[in-house]
Homo-oligomer: A and B are copies of this chain.
């Protein structure tokens, strides 16, 4: 009948890993999948074989798993529910951006399309959630995006923070307290790989230092004017 929330979570996870890579065609390793989902490796193998049975993924033993077109669409719709829910929790219920991920993680499986559509309309058909993650349209299409990060953008050039690719609550609170939420305009002053350090000048000329791993989690776009 309907995909269980377990199935939805597998598809969503495969989708995210798959589309994190530039090409979006890579096979996702079973170990990685199991680790992210917090299940034993064998569990993931079993589940993925079942998903392959229902045509949502292709599975090559010892190689990995990849979404088929139907799987891709289903996964995108789960992400649509998740991200609209997150934005809704922030904008309408006034929750903080570091707590809505876990909340949406559960609500995404319970909210019907009717509810999701209402939320979508109420928020003005938004294109991104509070972390800057793009919201797929009702058909599961996502506008392709490929932004540089604070690790790869030109030094000195003003950029606007577009997206944060890590949902960890502590990290998000740090970004908030450092005025590095999406929408902020900043520029990289110094990048020092020896010291594993990126120095950013932001709001009110504030100087923030972050590690390179963290810098890579902040996607940015050139700020014009």
Q: Is A93 an interface residue (CB 8 A)?
A: yes
Could you say how many copies of this chain the assembly holds?
A: 2
Determine the residue in chain B with the shortest Cβ distance to A105.
Answer: B110
Interface residues of A in 61-89 (CB under 8 A from B): 89
Q: How many whole Å from A187's CB to the nearest CB in chain B?
A: 37
Q: Which residue of B lies closest to A119 (CB)?
A: B93
> How many residues of chain A are within 8 Å of chain B by beta carbon?
18
Determine whether the beta carbon of A114 is less than 8 Å from that of B103: yes
Question: A89-101, CB under 8 A of B: which get 1 and which 0?
Answer: 1001111000100
Q: Complex: how many Å from CA A118 to CA B61? A: 47
A8 CB to closest chain B CB, in angstroms? 13
Give the CA-CA distance A107 to B106 in the complex, in Å: 9
Q: Identify the A interface with B (CB < 8 A).
A: 89, 92-95, 99, 103, 106-107, 109-112, 114-115, 118-119, 122
